[in-house]
Structure 1
């Protein structure tokens, strides 16, 4: 073989090598995963916790190297800040749709989830939310799923707990007028009344409030044994401190949005064993899988998981499993597999009813010991 033939052979090998390289690259697909939540403001800790749950799942899935539709699949997180604001949430949702995401996780806030659910559903993109207002899944939107407990489950469980365990008969209710706060408060009132509890006062505030003294003075005059607060942990911390300042030693109850260690940090020693709140799902520390998740989460993010990071971790795995089953990343194709989910996750068992709410969502009620949520014996 002369020099010219040798050079030609080497060039041909190089071309074939490049072609092979391009073929391998062409066999990989990047799947964008959207997340919307409050990454700034008073609820930033919970928004970051949700983001961390999805991120941890994506990192694990990418390490496994899934093949979907004949292509190696790499997931990429596009997390955007909706600031817990409905208008910002609509902009964020549109941005994520424009970025061609294949699923949107979140929002955390019901007030954001309600308006964007229509937008996302009309785009035929799956939305998997932990927002709890019952109406989110009552519009018949086929692409909208709830991957945690609803207000109906959370509020009614607290009404039952107040009557049967705390044995209170006179309760005041305060809500922040958000879709979440009002929704969970209404469900509590319905359950409490059914259990023979008298609602002696109903007060209203906002999700930006810091001063509750006038509200608490009226409640104190009504001789309430407990307050149920429908709202978020930032306001609940201030509310509890001010209860103590007025010598109000009754119970403070709330929904899942006050149920995390941030409440203990904000409320200090006022957040004690007379504060109660619910969370959907089992106690992570009581299962091997939950303990492993907590350890892995701490190692990766140098902090403890809060409320719904485990549910978002499960949610990402649910979507990946549905894509594998459908052999497609197209939401219109994998949605049917998601509907038929029967999956045991870290945060519970996942099966959906006709509204795409969870069929089985155990509720754990927590109190606070040394500022940290601790499960009660029920």
Structure 2
């Protein structure tokens, strides 16, 4: 491997607000050599996800930040190039967590072999991967939708939200999806089968949401925060459940004191009087459900009840700009980088 170079994208500096290209550094390094018990992985696909913005910050979180100069972290689908591990052989395709680089060495722990004949391997980063599982576990464990209830989901055309709405429909609930722009709204309504699709950019969005939920909202799957949550909150029914998966509208704020009046007392009063369940979660909490998810989701895909869309960009060097666009809502579907 001495004649090959490993393209790596590292964190050059911590963003001040929204990330920019200068916050990343693209470098060439020698391809690492696996030792006894290890294997060399060549990245085929890299997943880009909103949570990565949190890893660029030192703000308190559920995981350690990426250090300056370290490779940006991320889920990957990779091919085993060389193996000194008896559990893997050259040519195996695996789900890994190699980060933003073309090659990586692994000891085999945490890898999952993929069957390229069962599904496109990139789906292990989306509908059959962490985003799909996040939707499944968060909605069914916390949201617990019942037949006839109204489930509202933000970022409904994205990797998580699109699965949330479709599972809600599978469970007999009514799915109201919120997305940005008419094209995304048409997709979740016409292709994914949501009952209602609303554009959060519409000037009368709050009024449209109220009209679309005449019986209120029983489950709100939160991916966004911001003005979307402000429109949803008054419509939450007594005993409504709110799985909090993400707050992408706030990811570039990096803490600090907020301006404006303190609305927390009023918010907490409504939580109390309406017996609301608002529960943040990380999908790793529900890892014991992963096998059930893979079995059910594969079946739903096979019978056409669960559909997906991927937004594929070519080349590892394109990852920073694609990630910046993700935080601005420019992606359409699960965003992956085709590395090799």
TM class, shorter-chain normalised? 0.3 to 0.5
TM-score w.r.t. structure 2 length? 0.37
Q: Which has the larger radius of gyration?
A: 1
Q: Per residue, is there more helix in 1 or in 2? A: 1
TM-score w.r.t. structure 1 length? 0.34
